[in-house]
Amino acid sequence: MAPTLRILGGHSVQAQRLLEGWAHDDDVDAWLVPINPEPRGWAARLLTIKYVRTILTQLLYWPLLMRHLRRADVVHVFSASYASFLLAPLPAILVAKALGRPVVLNYHSGEAEDHLRRSRVARALIAKCDVTIVPSRYLVDVFSAQGISASAIPNVIDLKRFAYRRRHPLGPRILSVRNFERLYNVACTLRAFQLVQKRWPNAELTLVGSGSQEPLLRAVANDLALDHVTFAGRVHPDQMADYFASHDIYVQSPDIDNMPLSVLEAYASGLPVVSTDTGGVPAILTHGEHGLLAPVDDHAALAARVLLLLEQPGLACELAERARARCDEFQWHCVRDEWLSHYRQVRRPYGSQTAARLRFNPPAQAE
């Protein structure tokens, strides 16, 4: 249970990576039941209307759950936080439990600490899942603080999609790939870029993403009188490699984060990374070894780290080379057995299904 790539983001990309990993595997047959089923015909036009879209999606989603979950041995549910938790994971968990199917909850949101503290419903429902998997030790600790056991399996990156290139000389072409929402604090990146541009007038900044704060961020860029700032909008995952290939430094400044896939993609492409020191980021980025960290919401420190890389390109190359080596542990073959172990652990034979291996026959397509 996960979003399709029609909803661009870490959940849909990771779901796609898992499906690709299992595609030619003898132990698991997997299929996607989308949390955002798309109506056909005239009803598709209703998706442009905000609240009508939610109602229509739910009317399609629940029957889809009933039809497909009864054929599964294990239900793997991708989960975010807050309202999206109620609209997607909650129905999937309830239907799976009603059908007697075990649930592997795959929780990804960096907002978990606040979500779990505020929502008694979320804590109770997650506790009923057979196993909870998160991408980082940071979230394992967050869940543990709420009395919920969780295990960490990192996000997966497909290295074949990204071409590593040594940046020498290092140019001031800066890339940031974060959605325009408050928790990602893209405004801090813009303020840092102003300081960088004072020293490097030809510096460029490309912001890939979209979200509710886009008008505000455009106003910030205008107020700061920034040049060479591009708002690239939403970019399909198949096109992301081109953006990494055409830039030299990756920068992000979230206030809250988990295990950003974009950092791994920067590693795979050879971009040195500068990030704020928050959430699960330090678990994949050791300061001075794989990249550089700055305090949260400190644009001056963020800019100083970027300027350090530009002034010491040899350091930037060393960080990028060590970061690329770190990518090896985030490939499919490194996590495949961990996922299979959890699937087998929770699988409960039912009806006539008594095979020793986790094996089922998926429908041709879940629409």
Mean pLDDT score, 274-297: 96
Q: How far, rounded to the nearest angstrom, does the alpha carbon of residue 160 sit from its chain's CA centroid?
A: 18
Share of the chain above pLDDT 70, in %: 95
Kindly report the CATH number assigned to the domain that includes residue 60. Answer: 3.40.50.2000
Task: Assess contact for 131 and 276: CB atoms under 8 A.
Answer: no
94 plus 229 within the same structural domain = no
Q: In the predicted model, is pLDDT for residue 359 greater than 90?
A: no
Q: In the predicted model, is pLDDT for residue 362 greater than 80?
A: no
33 plus 70 within the same structural domain = yes
Which residues 6+ apart lie within 8 Å of 159 measured at CB? 268, 327, 331
The band of 41, judged by pLDDT with boundaries at 50, 70 and 90, is: confident
Domain that holds residue 193: 159-328
Q: Which helix (H) or strand (E) holds 205?
A: strand 204-208
pLDDT tens-digit readout, 3-13: 998 887 889 99
170 plus 312 within the same structural domain = yes
Mean pLDDT score, 198-223: 97
Rounded-to-integer distance, Cα 45 and Cα 39, Å: 9
**Residue-averaged pLDDT of the chain:** 92
**Looking at residue 355, what is its pLDDT?**
36
Q: Which helix (H) or strand (E) holds 309?
A: helix 299-311
**Looking at residue 40, what is its pLDDT?**
82
Mean pLDDT score, 125-151: 96
**Looking at residue 360, what is its pLDDT?**
39
Q: In the predicted model, is pLDDT for residue 247 greater than 80?
A: yes
The answer to whether position 173 is within a domain reads yes
Lowest pLDDT segment from 35-44, 53-62, 251-260, 313-322: 35-44
Q: In the predicted model, is pLDDT for residue 367 greater than 60?
A: no
**Looking at residue 349, what is its pLDDT?**
66
CA torsion through residues 348, 351, 352, 358, sign: negative
Q: In a 3-state reduction of DSSP, which class is residue 139?
A: helix
CA geometry: angle 7, 12, 16, nearest 5 deg: 135
Q: In a 3-state reduction of DSSP, which class is residue 347?
A: coil
317 plus 185 within the same structural domain = yes
